[in-house]
Amino acid sequence: MDGLGKARGRPVDMVLAVGDVEAFRRADDQRRKMTKRLMPAEFAEYADGQRQMKRPLYFIGGNNEDFEALHDAQDGLELAPQVYYLGRAGIQTLQGLRVAYLSGIHAPRFYEQPLKRPRALDTAKQAGYFRGPEVERVMHVRDVDILLVHEWPRGIVQRARDENVPTARALPSYWIGNPITRRLADTLRPKWMLCGHSHKGFAVSLGGEGGRPVTRIACLDQATRPDEAVFWLEFEDREPVRGGWGISGEVAWQSGAPWNLQSLPVTGPPMASAQPEGDEDREMG
């Protein structure tokens, strides 16, 4: 982030993360799926004070987290100096921006079931699924600058197909995403929506018909590929004015310009056969 701030000629005020931060306090915690990907357990160094955040980090839950530690902090918690878990669902004002959020992914079988304390592997896994009351808590929010979700909204790939924007990338399958986060996007109509889970960069816009507000959606890659895992935005008085991918500081979008597949980095990874990580365990009941 220091490099991005230098490239843009202004400091980075805050960092928002769209889940799967895996904020485990011990680097050797075997619950970490990241150990299988040979990624460092960086949070442990912040938790024990070896490292300090230079700017606040706010994150939502994905489907791979330390759910035992987060269960009693459903409305949010400062886990380490300047490291904040936002909570399972809600809205907060951060750096003057209204940021709404919904943690987790959609599992229809558990949508109406109560959230249980994660005491075993099965209940820990189920803690990564959002519940109906959490969705309703966010559904009534309005005037949203940024909406954070973990899983893509359903139908955005088809939207990109319908736009028929020239691109060298193969589109992922149309079924990626879920209808709940799509309903949030259509109801809240945030200025920007950020999501993760599928580990692919993606850019598409919703709305705009008949004067309807436009929601620009940026889907982020995993952290090991920062060219599309990092997406930055600059605001002026709550109005987004420009944004870009990675830490080079290069502008990919400016106010008034379209936001679509051509807004992605030119040299991004191919998008063929995109499979959301963890979908092999998705509850489809």
Structure tokens at 117: 């304390």
pLDDT above 90: residue 4: yes
Between the ranges 14-28, 70-84, 89-103, 155-169, where is the mean pLDDT highest? Answer: 89-103
- Nearest Cα neighbor of 61 from 76, 72, 51, 46 is 76
Mean pLDDT of 82-98: 97
pLDDT band at 37 (very low <50, low <70, confident <90, very high): very low
Instruction: Tell me what pLDDT residue 281 has.
Output: 41
Report the C-alpha gap between 250 and 268 in whole angstroms.
14
Report which secondary-structure segment, H or E, holds 89: strand 89-94
- The range of the structural domain enclosing residue 157 comes to 2-281
Instruction: Tell me what pLDDT residue 38 has.
Output: 46
Report the C-alpha gap between 264 and 197 in whole angstroms.
18
Q: What is the dihedral of CA 156, 157, 159, 163, to 10 degrees?
A: 140
User: Helices 179-188 & 132-139, crossing angle to 10 degrees?
Assistant: 20
- Nearest Cα neighbor of 74 from 99, 49, 101 is 101
In the chain, the number of structural domains is: 1
Beta-bridge mates of residue 45: none
Output the average pLDDT for the chain: 88
Report the C-alpha gap between 154 and 159 in whole angstroms.
10
Mean pLDDT of 63-85: 91
- Nearest Cα neighbor of 261 from 222, 224, 219, 233 is 219
Express each pLDDT in 184-239 by its tens digit: 999 999 999 999 998 899 999 999 888 889 999 999 999 889 899 999 999 999 99
Structure tokens at 210: 């008949």
Express each pLDDT in 115-153 by its tens digit: 999 999 999 999 999 999 999 999 999 999 999 999 999
Q: What's the angle, vertex CA 250, arms to CA 38 and CA 199, rounded to 5?
A: 30
Express each pLDDT in 256-280 by its tens digit: 999 999 999 986 444 444 444 444 3
Report the C-alpha gap between 21 and 147 in whole angstroms.
17
Query: Residues with Cβ < 8 Å from 37, sequence gap 6 or more?
Result: 224
Exposure pattern of 97-122 as b/e (b: 16+ CB <10 Å)?
bbbbbbbbbbbeebbeeebeebeeee
CATH number of domain containing 193: 3.60.21
Q: What is the dihedral of CA 255, 257, 259, 262, to 10 degrees?
A: -130
The pTM (predicted TM-score) of the whole model is: 0.88
pLDDT band at 28 (very low <50, low <70, confident <90, very high): low
pLDDT above 60: residue 282: no
